[in-house]
Copies of this chain bind each other. A is one copy, B any other.
Amino acid sequence: MEEKETEISRLGEFGLIDRLTRDIVLKNESTRTGVGDDAAIMYYGDNEVLVTTDLLLEGIHFDLRYVPLKHLGYKAAVVNFSDIYAMMGTPRQITVSLGISSRFTTEHIEALYSGIRLACEKYGVDLVGGDTSASVTGLVISITCLGDAKPGDAVKRSGANPTDIICVSGDLGAAYMGLQLLERENNVAAHSKDKNFQPDFSGREYILERQLKPEARRDIVAILREKGVAPTSMMDVSDGLSSELLHICRDSNVGCRVYEEKIPIDYQTAITAEEMHISPLTAALNGGEDYELLFTVPLTDHRKVEFINGVREIGYITKPELGCALVTHDGSEIRIHSRGWNAFEHEDGNATPATEK
């Protein structure tokens, strides 16, 4: 191979994808939209068919020292379902490809699969195919999910308009703090002289579950449908709120204002963050893996969303020239930068704040 020229970490994941896909011209009638949303939209018969895919690599996306294989399987499936729900679609089928190194036995893979199948059962999704191979290194999990939506129902990232209300479901930062806690206890265990050392997670069950066994917000999608709310844009929070807000604003060509005091943070998230000298706000903005839904609705839908259990209005969409900013408790504005999770960045300890004066 030739001399190295452009390090991928300089572009980051999204920069690289942009560079590789920016001039793609779609040719098939059945293709509606391509690269650049939670899922691509196709049109087969009278249905919008959605497709999304996720690649999980050992050592990058998971660490088997503290993630049980069954949980890993469950999560690998659910994060794909989440991408389909984030289009207001319904997940229907998945394919599962596995690369398996020689240290895994059939029983290990059965445990992984049992988690995948449990998720499929819970969300009513069929496992229809896949590919299984040896791997010379770690475990590789590649899942692709198909879903559908009624014509015109799929919600993209690109439809937000000035004055729209920005909403988010659930709470943010918990999965990130769960991961920090797991990593800390794992380090303590590794350095402990007590061979029977057992980490004490009591009172932190919620943040652990958010990390190890996340759920997709099918319930929120169902309520929005039931109430006749048609979000103008939607995506799931997988890389952190900052990163997702910037995606919606860029794709919709708008700006936004989000209020610090309205960002939903759970109590366990807050106390664990403080204990570990991490700002809870940083965990919420940059943590990622929340799999909550971030969406915008017209101002006229305020009445419909304000009393939905588990949905919080956190700000509003502006004209693009106003940029994206966080409004702090004291009313000052901080520009939002993306410091969402970037697998290409070199590890340098804790996440850095996503905001900058």
Residues of A within 8 A of B (CB): 1-2, 4-11, 13, 16-17, 19-21, 24, 26-28, 30-31, 33-35, 39-40, 42, 44-47, 49, 51-55, 57-61, 64, 69, 92-93, 95, 97-100, 102-110, 113, 117, 124-138, 140, 142, 144, 146, 148, 343-344
A59-B137, A133-B343 known; 4 new pairs, CB 8 Å cut-off, are: A27-B126, A28-B93, A57-B140, A146-B146
Q: State whether A137 touches B138 (Cβ < 8 A).
A: yes
Q: How far is the CB of A167 from chain B (nearest CB, A)?
A: 25
CB distance from A237 to the nearest CB of B (A): 17
Q: Which residue of B lies closest to A54 (CB)?
A: B131
Residue in A33, A97, A110 whose Cβ sees the most chain B Cβ within 10 Å: A97
A59–B113 CB distance below 8 A: no
Task: Tell whether, in the assembled complex, residue A20 and residue B60 are in contact, meaning their CB atoms are under 8 Å apart.
Answer: no
What does DSSP make chain A's interface, helix, strand, loop or mixed?
mixed
Contact of A53 among B5, B44, B105, B144 (CB under 8 A): B144
Enumerate chain B residues within 8 angstroms of A34, measured Cβ to Cβ: 126-129
CA distance A11 to B49 in the complex (A): 36
Which residues does chain B contribute within 8 Å of A104, judged by CB atoms? 8
Given known contacts A2-B107, A92-B28, is B53 in contact with A130 (CB within 8 Å)? yes
Q: In the complex, what distance in Å separates the CA atom of A135 from the CA atom of B58? A: 8
CB neighbours of A146 from chain B (8 A): 42, 49, 51, 146
Q: Which residues of B are found within 8 Å of A47, using beta-carbon distances?
A: 44-45
**Alpha-carbon separation in the docked complex, A44 to B42 (Å):** 11
| Contact of A105 (CB < 8 Å), options: B8, B49, B108 | B8
Residue on B nearest A112 in the bound complex, by CB: B20
Chain B residues near A106 (CB-CB < 8 A):
5-8, 10-11, 16, 19
CA distance A57 to B109 in the complex (A): 18
Query: In the assembly, what is the distance between CA of A293 and CA of B322, in Å?
Result: 58
Q: Report B-chain residues with C-beta under 8 Å of the C-beta of A97.
A: 53-55, 142
- 18 pairs of residues in contact across A and B, judged by CB atoms under 8 Å: A6-B107, A7-B106, A8-B134, A20-B132, A27-B126, A31-B92, A31-B93, A40-B129, A44-B45, A44-B49, A49-B146, A53-B95, A53-B130, A55-B133, A57-B99, A57-B134, A60-B135, A136-B137
- Chain B residues near A2 (CB, 8 Å)? 107
Instruction: Give A344's nearest chain B residue, CB to CB.
Output: B134
Q: Which residues of B contact A49 (CB under 8 A)?
A: 44, 49, 146
- Residue pair A124, B53 in contact (C-beta under 8 Å): no
Report the minimum CB–CB distance from A117 to chain B (whole Å). Answer: 7
Residues B107 and A55 in contact, CB atoms below 8 Å apart: no
Chain B: CB-nearest residue to A49: B44
Q: Do A128 and B93 touch (CB < 8 A)? A: no
Query: Are B142 and A53 in contact, with the CB atoms below 8 A?
Result: yes
Specify which of A45, A58, A100, A108 lies most central, judged by the most chain B CB atoms within 10 Å of its CB.
A45
- Closest Cβ of chain B to A154, distance in Å, is 13
